Amino acid sequence: MKKLYATQDQALPIVSVIIMNYNYGSFLPVAIESCLGQTYPKVEVIVVDDGSTDDSVQVIESYGDRIIPVLKPNGGQASALNAGYAASRGDIICLLDADDLFLPERVTQVVELFQSAPDVDWVFTESAPIETEDIALDQLDTLFETIRAMPVREQLEKIDFRKQLGEGKIPGFTPSTSNLCFSRRISEKLFPLPAIKGLSGMAITDLYIKTPAVGLSLGYRTTKNLGVYRFHNNYYKNLNVDKKRRMFGEIYTTTGYWLKQNFPELGKISQKFLAKGYATYRSSSYASDRCADADCDQMLQTYLAQSPWLTRLEIYLMIAYYRFRLRFKSFV
């Protein structure tokens, strides 16, 4: 693979890292420092605060012009991503949750992959799971060395999953938010996201972003750990099974609905997401908790009304299938 520094600095693409934060002020400095410490020379760090009530704003302001701050009222994850993307100017967009962090070489290696194949529009990496107590700002170098020494079977593959996803097959290689990077070319098709907050604040998540990216373009996936996924008691972990089903149902129903609206060519996968999400939503005792911008019943009815009778029948059958499966599973 051609190395970056064989070219002049002026020819290198700008990389925008969008950090999304909500009440993670205690974790935010590590995330920001990991981005400012990249070996790649042309990185802009955009930190979006989605109406935090802790000391996050003070942390962000302490970095001055070393970062691009975006402070906004609370609107949910999708609205935060939209605000960060609107502030970006990079040729490559990388996402990072405020409780995670990047290894110093991550952006360099991601850019090398993009430069090696002009037809590639996304690069997905992996992150090493690390407990919070093992992450300290003044010991990041030691942590990074530990991660580099971890025994990982590194695989790199160029993936064209467009046909399979078009047929409704769910990709099993798409990682979480902090491992996603996209070209500006595909990002312009993905953004702005539907700014749907829902009950959880996350009705539209990275599922909506990475699914059409994989369905519309080629990309690279590497199993190399180029980041850190922080283990801690976050919002999701503290939910009981019933609330998790409600949240999962909302996310998948909303994603399926909006994929059909914005990417009709991905109809098969949107049907599967909608049916799986709605079945899970109806399997929760919290299904009666309606949400104005993510009403699962209304989305299902609108989707069905826009579909031919055979598609409606397929969706009803899938909903019945998923509801039957949920009787024998502890979650989804």
pLDDT digits (tens, 9 = 90+) for 61-111: 999 999 999 999 999 999 999 999 999 999 999 999 999 999 999 999 999
pLDDT digits (tens, 9 = 90+) for 23-43: 999 999 999 999 999 999 999
Judged by average pLDDT, the poorest of 156-165, 175-184, 321-330 is 321-330
Q: Which helix (H) or strand (E) holds 223?
A: strand 218-231
* pLDDT greater than 60 at residue 284: yes
Q: Give the CATH number of domain 4-231; options: 3.20.20.70, 3.40.50.720, 1.20.1440.230, 3.90.550.10.
A: 3.90.550.10
Burial (CB count within 10 angstroms: exposed 0-12, middle 13-18, buried 19+), residue 292 = exposed
Percent of the chain at pLDDT exceeding 70: 94
CA distance 156 to 158: 7
Looking only at the bridges linking them, the beta strands covering 218-231 and 120-131 are parallel
Percent of the chain at pLDDT exceeding 90: 83
Whole-angstrom CA distances from 14 to 9, 17, 119, 221 are: 10, 10, 18, 21
Q: Where in the chain is the domain with CATH 3.90.550.10?
A: 4-231
Nearest to 197 by CA among 19, 50, 23, 25: 50
Whole-angstrom CA distances from 238 to 45, 202, 329 are: 30, 15, 19
Question: With a threshold of 0.85, does the pTM exceed it?
Answer: yes
